[in-house]
Amino acid sequence: MEAITRRKLSHEVLDRLLAGIEAGEYAPGSQLPSERELMTRFGVGRPAIREAMQTLQQMGIIRITHGERARVILPTPNAIIDQITGAMIQLLSSNPRDLHDLKEARLFFEVGLARIATQRATRESLEQLRAALVHCQDVRGDLGRFVAADMAFHRQIAAMSGNLLIAAVSQGMLDWLSRFKRELVSARGAERLTLEEHERIYKAIAAGDADAAAKAMSDHLTRANALYSVLAAGAGND
């Protein structure tokens, strides 16, 4: 028979506050009651209130500002991704297998994304994608700026989806991988290959050929992932 576990008071406070927020009692932009008011309402001490508040802030549901009452915020896809970025970077740094899984996930994700971007492309978004491609060419030879320009090219494709959640997930993946990408693009000939592959992706999207865009993206990321694996293996043998 399992023993009945007594929940922490802060967990009970958290559940009640979440219920109030979900029910609309505390609307986005409004302030929560003061710590003292919450202590009286729930019959608990200050530590339980503060712990629950910290958890809500970590969840991206409230913002705590010194000298003010906590304020309910409207979670956004970007804010949610930001909440897990620190933990994700630590995970990827400690386990090479997780990095492999992330690169594989990005491959499947961005191939589909290339199709959506092609189908939803506008004249303005194509001009922005072309500008991102030209910028990659302009900063060739400057490793740090080239990596940033490379990421910006992929971010623009995500933005062309018109889907904020897709764009946020893509941004998260790019941010997480950017910590490990510098060695990849510094390999001999890697910049040239990246530019050629970006050009093929752009031309396929601009031509409205979703199949060609998906294939160009698949070829690009598969080649990049294979190169990274070779470099990682070589580093392990040093």
Nearest to 132 by CA among 198, 196, 191: 198
Every domain of the chain and the residues it spans: 9-72, 78-236
* Topology annotation, domain 78-236: Four Helix Bundle (Hemerythrin (Met), subunit A) (1.20.120)
pLDDT tens-digit profile, the chain (238 residues): 454 455 688 999 999 999 999 898 998 889 999 999 999 999 999 999 999 999 998 888 899 988 889 999 887 888 788 878 888 888 888 887 888 888 888 999 999 999 999 999 999 999 999 999 999 999 998 888 988 899 999 999 999 999 989 999 998 988 888 776 655 555 556 788 899 999 999 999 999 999 999 999 999 999 877 765 554 454 444 4
> According to DSSP H, which parts of 121-163 are helical?
123-138, 143-159
pLDDT (tens digit, 9 = 90+) per residue, 106-122?
A: 999 999 999 999 999 99
Domain 9-72: which CATH number of 3.40.1180.10, 3.30.420.40, 1.10.10.10, 3.90.79.10 = 1.10.10.10
First to last CA, the chain: 55
- How many angstroms separate the CA atoms of 87 and 61, rounded? 18
For residues 181 and 99, is the Cβ–Cβ distance under 8 A? no
pLDDT at 182: 56
